[in-house]
Structure 1
Amino acid sequence: MTIENRLTELNITLPEAAAPVASYVPVVVQNGFAYVSGQLPFIDGVLAKGRLGDDVELAEGMEAARACGLMILAQLKTAGVLEKVERVVKLGAFVNSTPDFTDQPKVANGASDLMLEVFGDAGRHARAAVSAPSLPLGAAVEVDAVIALAD
């Protein structure tokens, strides 16, 4: 089964891949890996903004992280390597949160669970989930990825 077929089966439509907001490229493919730059959470074309522990609830943060995961997949598709994904190696989740908010791992599960849905066991990955005092454009969450590619 192709990844595109799996997405259809899951009733997942990928967003348009977002253009970079600064001087970088969205995906670098090198030596069998795709390194995906940090992706922001666009939900129905609108950036999910705010701070966890303040004006963003946990469930909204998880949805934002899932949106970041969808954007990672969209970037892989645009780079022409989505169907070559062999394994999700690592995700890095940055959560715009107050100093007393400690559920960053739960927020990051929004992206992690998506990778498991789409790739099955190949979606299991190492991960970091950390707090950030602010993120680009006021985003609630940002997620980057390292993906192993098949030849």
Structure 2
Amino acid sequence: MTEVSNPIYELTQMTGRLKNVERRTVILSFEVNRHYWTVFLLSTAGGLGISAVFIPLFGFYAFILAAVLMPIGIFLFYSRQSRGLQLRQYKALLNKWRNVNGIFLINGAPFADPMFIMHEPVTVQSKPSREFTFASPFENQPIKPAIGTRQGN
């Protein structure tokens, strides 16, 4: 008897959060990741466009700039961070540039004055303000041994 699986679970790969991860496109009989192919084409076009501006100044050597800009574009828009939220590199850079210290952001919008202080700085003196003496409370008491005393001798 064959078991029929629930079609909802089979569709999650096509409609879920990671639906575009394994999408491939065929180009000249080669299968290529669709997102990588898009990033490659856009970074190539951007690198060639920027190097076209410098062709009157540097001639053929301006295409070296395109060869440098293509891997940079692929790195920024295709690779992800290895730690944390694993954002794309360009998103992490944008977050770093937009960061404003001392302002709470919720969904990218500044939050009104916070209702509580999460951290309040405290100053500590490096030297004590007065001299401390460590006096024993038994200092002036006579010593009375409790064990080892002979009685009757």
TM range (shorter): under 0.3
**TM-score of the superposition, structure 2-length normalised?**
0.22
Q: RCO greater where, 1 or 2, for CA within 8 Å and sep 6 or more?
A: 1
Which structure would you say has the larger Rg? 2
**Structure with the higher fraction of residues in helix conformation:** 2
